[in-house]
Amino acid sequence: MMTVTEKSSRLYFLGIGGTLMGSLAMLAKDAGFEVSGSDKKLYPPMSDQLATAGITVYEGFDPAQLDPRPDLVVIGNAQLPRGHPGVEYVLESGLPYTSGAEWLGKTILQDRWVIAVSGTHGKTTTSSMLAWILKCAGLDPGYLIGGVPANLERSAALGTTPCFVVEADEYDTSYFDRRSKFLHYRPRTLVINNLEHDHADIFPDVEAIQQQFHLLLRTVPASGLVLVPVADEHVDEVLRRGCWSPVGLFGSGRIRHRIERDTGEVMHARDVTANSSRFNVCINDVQVGTVDWSLLGQHNVNNALAAIAAARHAGVAPSVAAEALSSFRGVKRRMELIFEDAKVRVYDDFAHHPTAIRSTLQGLRKAVGSDEILAVIEPRSHTMSLGTLRHDLVNCCSPADSAIWFRGDNIKWDLASLVDECVVPARMFDDLDALIEHLAKPAKQRRHIVIMSNGAFGGIYPRLVARLARSPA
């Protein structure tokens, strides 16, 4: 495997349609590299972003795409194992290659003030908030985010100042590097939003994930800052294994115990409205700002507190950060409203874990009161499709009035039994056309349909919107 050098000018991204890889390709283009790449099939919003960036993208792999010979092949980790024709061709041809995370760390993040946002939930939203705060403060940060913030033009930018915000994922780097991707980033400011068992295809239990976070803590300098929630036992266990940097706290709830190297400061919220659309930001009970925005749910309040605390470490006053968040409009596919008429509102939500499903539905319930909420869930993530958190899935829809579970080809367990045990009335569909017709039936009262999946869900989004638009008012 080649070490990335400044001499690499022609780059080929194998797996360019993924969120990380597509964003890296755009950064490479902006940095002056000649960029092309391929993937199985590309979907918006990444396909649109790559097209706008003028990057040559191929659907499917053909060795002819590597003529003229690239200086370096950047290999993603999503569905690119040994046996993939592109991987095998690179190896047989002796082409220099590296992983996306390693290329990012060595080529883009060198000599930057890296602010990394990690954790099981909220990484994309918190990273987006943080990039927006820094931008509003005039710092023009670089950023790489696993989604498209509504306030920003795209998911990645080089920026012109030292600050660089990166969504720091614990998933493994590539087929040839099984370390978590975030170990390549070397942050000066590190946010750990929360920690639960996830990615069951590569992590057998939460302890295996904690080991990777322990290694991440070892990369933060003593002059840096680690920001953690006030009450998360799994995060606390990681800190007790060793932390060599100051630790700041954020969030709501009772602090379990003081942590070694604790700064003594807690970023928290008070006077939070019922739907979390307005709250005061405090440091140790002293008010330092107010957020008044359109986002919903306590989980987003916690995301905001983490972002404000991280921005403060980079030199942005909390009052400035809170004002910036008051104009923050969220992230595409995070409770994004995609259809509305007199009776029905439809949301697209990137759901990958039972806890995220429950938090999102709780936030919506507090906002809409007694309106009907219908959760439509495709348990597509590795963790949910394998059935690892099956018992959590039984309860995660409790804030909704009913649930629909969609059985795709990737489901490895008996989804019908989940329907029987679900805490709210539930149905199962395995035919997308039938599901769309069911959802298009007239609502008897104000209805909120939340479509939850971390994938394309068979293209349901534009099809359902088109079908609802044809329905009688």
Question: Which whole number is the average pLDDT over 262-283?
Answer: 92
pLDDT reported for residue 374: 95
pLDDT tens profile 86-109 = 999 999 999 999 999 999 999 999
Is the pTM of the predicted complex or chain greater than 0.75? yes
What class is the 109-325 domain? alpha beta
Domain over 336-470 is classified CATH 3.90.190.20: yes
The answer to whether residues 240 and 208 touch, using CB atoms and an 8 Å cutoff, is no
Which residues have C-beta within 8 Å of that of residue 74, sequence separation ≥ 6?
11, 12, 13, 14, 21, 24, 28, 37, 97, 98, 99, 100, 103
One-letter amino acid at 439 equals: L
Q: How many residues make up the chain in this entry?
A: 473
Q: DSSP string covering 311-332, please?
A: HHHTT--HHHHHHHHTT---BT
One-letter amino acid at 410 equals: N
- Collapsed DSSP state (helix, strand, coil) of residue 443: coil
pLDDT tens profile 444-454 = 889 999 998 87
The answer to whether residues 166 and 114 touch, using CB atoms and an 8 Å cutoff, is yes
pLDDT reported for residue 67: 93
pLDDT tens profile 389-444 = 677 788 888 999 999 999 877 776 677 888 888 889 999 998 999 999 999 998 88
Residue 19's pLDDT band (cuts 50, 70, 90): confident
Among the residue ranges 244-248, 295-299, 363-367, 388-392, the one predicted with the least confidence is 388-392
pLDDT at 3 over 50: no
CATH of domain 10-101: 3.40.50.720
Q: What percent of the chain has pLDDT over 70?
A: 93
Same fold, 10-101 and 109-325: no
Q: Where are the domains of the chain?
A: 10-101, 109-325, 336-470
pLDDT tens profile 322-371 = 999 999 998 877 888 899 998 999 999 887 688 888 888 988 898 889 99
- Sole residue written with tokens 């590309």: 42
